[in-house]
Amino acid sequence: MKFCEQCGQEYEPTVLRSKTQRFCSPLCRGRSWRSRNAEKSRQHSKAWRKRNPDHYKGWVASNNDKCKAIGERYYARHTDECRRRNQDYRDAHMTEHAAQQAGRKALILGVTIGNLADIAEVYRQAREDEPMRCYLCGELIELGDRHVDHKRPLSKDGKHCASNLGITHSLCNLKKATSLLESDK
């Protein structure tokens, strides 16, 4: 009897390879190679998926629960790394992230959604353009103190489109909350 170098399980070597056999199965032999050649293995898998996109997408579609479980296990083991990577992405794509969150809220409320590129442009202007006037009070707004507000709130049947978005002071937006302007009543 011998012990597998990969999993540690005791096994009976095959007659032909009794002196040189180090693993209990081809699966363990593959796992051992992949653990020693992790980067090479990742590159090979990535290239194969790129060459066979339909096969990979089909497998993912038919094994959705399995993919979710794999993702959840990975997240459980690498929570801090995943959170940091997600935060780095949000920081680098703040405009798109804000537009996406507002779009998600609109979908949940069942509101009509306009052109996403136009909406993202409004969020980009709020984040980057100088100078900018608050559509509520008319004063200039400094960078970092800007909010994008739905002029007619989503909760009051407003649309999530560029024409219904206005850039405001954060304080003006928080004061307005979900109330309607006099002109919209």
pLDDT tens digits, one per residue of 10-40:
888 876 777 788 888 888 888 888 888 899 9
Tens-digit pLDDT profile for residues 155-167: 888 888 889 899 9
Alpha helices in 38-110 (DSSP H): 38-51, 53-62, 64-77, 79-92, 94-109
Is domain 95-184 classified as CATH 1.10.30? yes
CA distance 78 to 71: 10
CA distance 56 to 180: 49
For residue 80, pLDDT over 90 is answered with yes
Q: What does the domain layout of the chain look like in residue ranges? A: 28-77, 95-184
